[in-house]
């Protein structure tokens, strides 16, 4: 374990943030000895995150839904980063069975870093394998269940981190806890893909903050950080379920992404900063410093209201445990 991770102190503060204008991938410290899981690592921000961590010595597990795309990503990563320690494991966040299988198959002695990156964005109405509306089911409930089932491995690490990728769009969410009630899951009545998406991304913020609060209360040296990538060129709007949309949507969206969105590597900066920087704020938020967090350099100075709404976060946590059947009982800190 490199020195920069042996002596990390758990901090539940929101430091006065400034944009890290000089922060680049070259600023990432040595990651040798770190065991990492990146969900959705076959493309986009997830792939860049996995590649950069592997390039600096981490042992990276690419957790991917598609075996074919996962194998292609692993081959690409090894070609771009000779000698990389990387492996592929199947994971479908739209299936609690798949999530449980992934966690049950974890055969390393610990987990130092979990990057909750995988998600869906503004897809047509659909249900997960367990009957949940897909945005809530994948982006929040799948992430919640995976993190909970991996908590024993995270607790075995000396300074674990959980980085959860939210969205700058969460600020526009009309968050309604009734959305998580079983009677309303899986209905397309009044369905709006954009609003379902931003609500799920707001849920990511509630979850990340509540996870850090509970870890701190348990004396567990786990740092939970939420991030927003800004407008980033990925296939999230054109791939997956969105690939089934009409040619007009696909063409217009692809053009918009190419012209208005920034390169994928820029969007990965906030995830990588939160995953590796000593001053990434536990219980906090890393986002681009530009207008509406759409672009810019990583900053820790943003403080969305969801980070301090402990009532909603606690209720969402309890409902998520009920819906997934996964209890996130944090183990007590182990003597070091």
Catalytic residue flag (residue 5): no
User: Which CATH number does the domain housing residue 69 bear?
Assistant: 3.40.50.720
Instruction: Calculate mean pLDDT across residues 285-304.
Output: 81
Please report whether residue 326 resides in a domain: no
Evaluate if pTM is beyond 0.75.
yes
In a domain, 231, yes or no: yes
Give the number of C-alpha atoms closer than 13 A to the C-alpha of residue 185, restricted to the C-beta side. Answer: 22
User: Percentage of residues in the chain with pLDDT exceeding 90?
Assistant: 63
Please check the confidence at residue 241 and state whether its pLDDT lies above 90.
no
Rounded to 5 degrees, φ, ψ at 327 are -95, 120
Q: Is the pLDDT of residue 328 over 60?
A: yes
**What letter does residue 264 receive in the DSSP assignment?**
H
Please state, rounded to an integer, the average pLDDT across all residues of the chain: 85
Domain-located, residue 331:
no
Q: What pLDDT was estimated at residue 14?
A: 37
Q: Which of 9-13, 20-24, 64-68, 73-77 has the lowest mean pLDDT?
A: 9-13
Catalytically annotated residue among 5, 47, 197, 206: 197
Mean pLDDT value across residues 28-54: 97
Per-position DSSP letters for 183-230, written without gaps between them? TTTT--TT--HHHHHHHHHHHHHHHHHHHHHHHHHTT--EEEEEE---
Q: CB of 271 within 8 A of CB of 163?
A: yes
Q: Is residue 217 part of a domain?
A: yes
- Mean pLDDT value of segment 68-73: 98
Q: What is the predicted pLDDT for the residue at 81?
A: 96
Among 48-57, 89-98, 267-276, 324-333, where is mean pLDDT lowest? 324-333
Range with the poorest average pLDDT among 1-5, 52-56, 129-133, 232-236 = 1-5
Give the range of the structural domain holding residue 230, as residue numbers without chain letter: 3-321
Residue 80 banded pLDDT, cuts 50, 70, 90: very high
| Residue 22: φ, ψ to 5° | -95, 5
For residue 327, tell me if it sits in a domain: no
Name the 3-class secondary structure at 18.
Answer: coil
Specify if 290 maps to a domain.
yes
Domain annotation covers residue 328: no
> How many distinct structural domains can be found in the chain?
1
- Whether 329 is in a domain gets the answer no
- The bridge status of strand 160-165 relative to strand 113-116 is parallel
Residue 326 has pLDDT above 70, yes or no: yes
- Least confident range of 230-244, 268-282, 298-312, 313-327: 230-244
CA separation for the pair 140, 93 (Å, rounded): 9
């Amino acid at each position: 374990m490199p020195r920069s991770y042996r002596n990390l102190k758990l901090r539940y503060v929101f430091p006065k943030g400034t944009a890290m204008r000089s922060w680049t991938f070259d600023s990432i410290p040595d990651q040798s000895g770190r065991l990492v899981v990146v969900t959705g690592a076959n493309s986009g921000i997830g792939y860049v995150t996995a590649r950069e961590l592997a390039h600096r010595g981490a042992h990276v597990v690419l957790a991917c839904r598609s075996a074919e795309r996962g194998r292609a990503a692993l081959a690409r990563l090894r070609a771009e980063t000779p000698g990389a320690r990387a492996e592929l494991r199947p994971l479908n966040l739209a299936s609690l069975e798949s999530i449980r299988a992934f966690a049950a198959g974890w055969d390393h002695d610990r987990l130092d870093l979990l990057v909750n990156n995988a998600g869906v964005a503004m897809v047509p109405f659909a249900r997960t394998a367990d009957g949940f509306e897909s945005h809530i089911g994948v982006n929040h409930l799948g992430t919640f269940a995976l993190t909970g089932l991996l908590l024993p491995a995270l607790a075995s690490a000396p300074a674990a981190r959980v980085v959860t990728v939210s969205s700058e769009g969460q600020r526009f969410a009309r968050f309604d806890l009734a959305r998580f009630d079983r009677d309303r899951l899986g209905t397309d009545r009044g369905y709006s893909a954009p609003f379902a998406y931003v609500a799920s991304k707001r849920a990511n913020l509630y979850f990340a903050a509540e996870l850090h609060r509970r870890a701190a209360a348990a004396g567990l040296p786990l740092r939970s950080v939420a991030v927003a990538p800004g407008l980033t060129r990925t296939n999230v709007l054109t791939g997956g379920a969105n690939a089934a949309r009409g040619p007009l949507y696909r063409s217009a969206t692809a053009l918009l992404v190419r012209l208005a969105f920034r390169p994928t590597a820029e969007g990965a900066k906030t995830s990588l900063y939160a995953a590796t920087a000593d001053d990434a704020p536990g219980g906090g938020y890393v986002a681009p410093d530009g207008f509406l967090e759409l672009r810019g350099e990583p900053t820790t100075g943003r403080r969305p209201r969801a980070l301090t709404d402990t009532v909603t976060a606690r209720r969402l946590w309890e409902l998520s445990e009920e819906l997934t059947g996964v209890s996130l009982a944090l183990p007590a800190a182990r003597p070091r």
